[in-house]
Homo-oligomer: A and B are copies of this chain.
Amino acid sequence: MAGNTFGTLLKITTFGESHGRSVGVVIDGFPSDIAIDLTKIQDALDRRRPGQSPITTQRKESDQIEVLSGIFEGKTTGMPITLAVFNHDAKSKDYSHIKDAFRPSHADFTYHAKYGHRDYRGGGRSSARETLARVAAGALVAQWLAPKGISIQAYVNQIGHIAVSQPYTNLDLSLTEKNIVRCPDPSLAQKMIHLVKETKKKGDSVGGMITCIIKGLPAGLGEPVFDKLHAELGKATLSINACKGFDYGSGFDAASMYGTQHNDEFVPNKPTPTTKTNFSGGIQGGISNGMDIYFRASFKPVATIMHDQNSVDKLGNPIIVKGKGRHDPCVVPRAVPIVEAMAWLVIGDFWLRNQ
Kindly state whether residue A151 has any CB partner on chain B within 8 Å.
Answer: no
B251→A248 contact, CB < 8 A = no
Kindly state whether residue A285 has any CB partner on chain B within 8 Å.
Answer: yes
B259→A107 contact, CB < 8 A = no
B284→A107 contact, CB < 8 A = yes
Q: How many copies does the complex hold?
A: 4
Kindly state whether residue A63 has any CB partner on chain B within 8 Å.
Answer: no
Which B residues are CB-close (under 8 A) to A352?
1
Max chain B C-beta neighbours (<10 A), residue from A289, A302, A304: A289
A5→B15 contact, CB < 8 A = no
A254 with B300, Cβ < 8 A, contacts A28-B4, A82-B16, A220-B113 known: yes
> Residue of B at shortest CB range from A210?
B255
Closest Cβ of chain B to A68, distance in Å, is 4
A265 with B309, Cβ < 8 A, contacts A82-B22, A117-B72, A209-B252 known: yes
B231→A239 contact, CB < 8 A = yes
Closest Cβ of chain B to A123, distance in Å, is 9
A230 with B220, Cβ < 8 A, contacts A204-B259, A244-B250 known: no
Kindly state whether residue A111 has any CB partner on chain B within 8 Å.
Answer: yes
Per-residue CB contact flags for chain A residues 225-245 toward chain B (1 = under 8 Å, else 0) read 111101110111011000011
B267→A312 contact, CB < 8 A = yes
Which B residues are CB-close (under 8 A) to A68?
15-16, 20-22, 24, 84
**Closest 9 interchain pairs by CB?**
A107-B285, A245-B247, A3-B223, A2-B29, A205-B259, A110-B287, A235-B235, A2-B28, A3-B227
